[in-house]
């Protein structure tokens, strides 16, 4: 395994400066946003697709520093009930896949998307329970009429370009846990898999190690984000974990995203890395920073040092095991 970072955390800096920081911290790879929620500060897919010289210049900045692109990310909602939003998000996904193919990048990261409750919806509707009965009806309609048809077509598109879509399971979208990940892959095709982000599994009460095993058994483990989650025991005891308060309201929230090691302990993260190794994962562990209690620089440096330490120990263990 190699260590990388999702460079959206450095979107306020020029790409060259961001890459220098990544290299200085001893990382191997960068995951770069192309638009949608990550933004396209470092990579405009329409521009790079239409200009080969700019594309070569973009790639050279990365390879000259001994780095590689681990993935392109375009997290958005291609199933949005607003036709204009859906079309824009779909176009971004297609552009990102085409660019990945031209750059020789294997993975594109995004969300599954979430439609409305009917053709007349204005906003996405995420179903979280089977009752009242109309909830179950809405969920079945979403999967059969929107989710599966869309991603079946995208699987064909991905195969044409030799690219894999790593869907990030995230509450608020139809794919949010282990079984919905596997359902999407089984229904739609083998070029669709998972970007495993333990932070979203932690707060939903799932064990990332158990989920990694299940995803690996389904050949669905494509990519990995390194982000942590901490819990406020008092707030969780009172309100549970379905928390819609702003992420900036840390004092009152039940949980919050943290830098690696500041949510779950080292033993948990060593178990996760070991599970990835046992599953045969040979890709990049991509650091993601959404910790509101740490600056970008502090969170990035601490996460890098923490994960480098674990990966070094695991590599030493592999040598002794062999």
**pTM score over 0.75:** yes
**Residue 255's CATH number:** 3.20.20.150
Question: Does 320 fall in a domain?
Answer: no
Burial 158-190 (b: 16+ CB within 10 A, else e): beebebbbbbbbbeebbbbbbebbbbbbebbbe
Number of separate domains in the chain: 1
Question: Does 130 fall in a domain?
Answer: yes
Tokens of 221: 């483990």
By C-alpha distance, which of 64, 150, 58 is closest to 105? Answer: 58
Tokens of 238: 């009172």
d(CA 255, CA 234) in angstroms, rounded, equals 10
Q: Are 284 and 3 in contact (CB under 8 A)?
A: yes
Question: Does 257 fall in a domain?
Answer: yes
CA 280 from centroid of its chain's CA atoms: 19
Sequence-ordered strand ranges (E) for 113-202: 164-167, 192-196
By C-alpha distance, which of 273, 196, 258, 227 is closest to 5? Answer: 227
d(CA 231, CA 225) in angstroms, rounded, equals 19
- Predicted confidence at residue 320, as pLDDT, reads 33
Phi, psi angle pair for 266, to nearest 5°? -60, -40
pLDDT tens by residue, 69-124: 999 999 999 999 999 999 999 999 999 999 999 999 999 999 999 999 999 999 99
Question: Does 317 fall in a domain?
Answer: no
CA atoms within 13 A on the CB side of 24: 9
Mean pLDDT for each consecutive 10-residue tract of the chain (322 residues)? 96 97 96 98 98 98 98 98 98 98 98 98 97 97 98 98 98 98 98 98 98 98 98 98 97 98 96 97 97 96 95 57 36
CA 205 from centroid of its chain's CA atoms: 18
By C-alpha distance, which of 232, 235, 230, 211 is closest to 221? Answer: 211
Question: Does 102 fall in a domain?
Answer: yes
Residue span of the structural domain in which 275 resides: 2-310
Question: Does 318 fall in a domain?
Answer: no
Question: Does 76 fall in a domain?
Answer: yes
- Predicted confidence at residue 316, as pLDDT, reads 47
CA distances (Å), 151 to each of 20, 171, 178, in order? 37, 18, 17
Look at the block and give the residue holding tokens 């998307």. Answer: 113
- Predicted confidence at residue 208, as pLDDT, reads 98
Question: Does 251 fall in a domain?
Answer: yes
d(CA 259, CA 298) in angstroms, rounded, equals 9
d(CA 300, CA 310) in angstroms, rounded, equals 16
- Predicted confidence at residue 315, as pLDDT, reads 59
């Amino acid at each position: 395994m190699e260590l990388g970072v999702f460079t959206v955390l450095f979107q306020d800096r020029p790409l060259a400066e961001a890459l220098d920081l990544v290299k200085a911290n001893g990382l191997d790879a960068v995951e770069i946003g192309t638009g949608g929620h990550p933004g396209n500060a470092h990579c405009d897919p329409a521009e790079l697709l239409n200009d080969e010289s700019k594309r070569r210049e973009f790639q050279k900045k990365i390879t000259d520093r001994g780095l590689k692109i681990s993935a392109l990310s375009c997290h958005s909602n291609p199933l949005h009930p607003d036709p204009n939003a859906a079309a824009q998000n779909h176009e971004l996904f297609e552009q990102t896949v085409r660019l990945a193919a031209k750059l020789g990048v294997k993975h594109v990261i995004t969300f599954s998307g979430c439609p409305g409750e009917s053709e007349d919806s204005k906003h996405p509707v995420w179903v979280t329970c089977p009752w009242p009965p109309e909830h179950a009806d809405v969920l079945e309609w979403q999967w059969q009429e929107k989710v599966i048809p869309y991603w079946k077509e995208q699987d064909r598109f991905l195969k044409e370009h030799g690219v894999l879509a790593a869907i990030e399971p995230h509450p608020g979208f139809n794919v949010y846990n282990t079984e919905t990940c596997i359902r999407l892959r089984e229904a739609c095709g083998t070029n669709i898999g998972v970007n495993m982000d333990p932070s979203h599994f932690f707060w939903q009460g799932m064990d990332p190690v158990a989920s990694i095993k299940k995803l690996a058994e389904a050949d669905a483990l494509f990519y990995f984000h390194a982000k942590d989650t901490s819990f406020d025991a008092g707030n969780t005891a009172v309100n549970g974990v379905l928390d819609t308060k702003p992420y900036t309201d840390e004092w009152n929230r039940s949980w919050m995203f943290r830098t690696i090691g500041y949510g779950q302990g080292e033993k948990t993260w060593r178990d996760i890395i070991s599970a990835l190794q046992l599953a045969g994962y040979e890709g990049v562990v991509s650091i993601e920073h959404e910790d509101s209690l740490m600056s970008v620089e502090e969170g990035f440096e601490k996460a890098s040092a923490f994960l480098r330490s674990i990966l070094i120990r695991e590599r030493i263990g592999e040598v002794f095991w062999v």
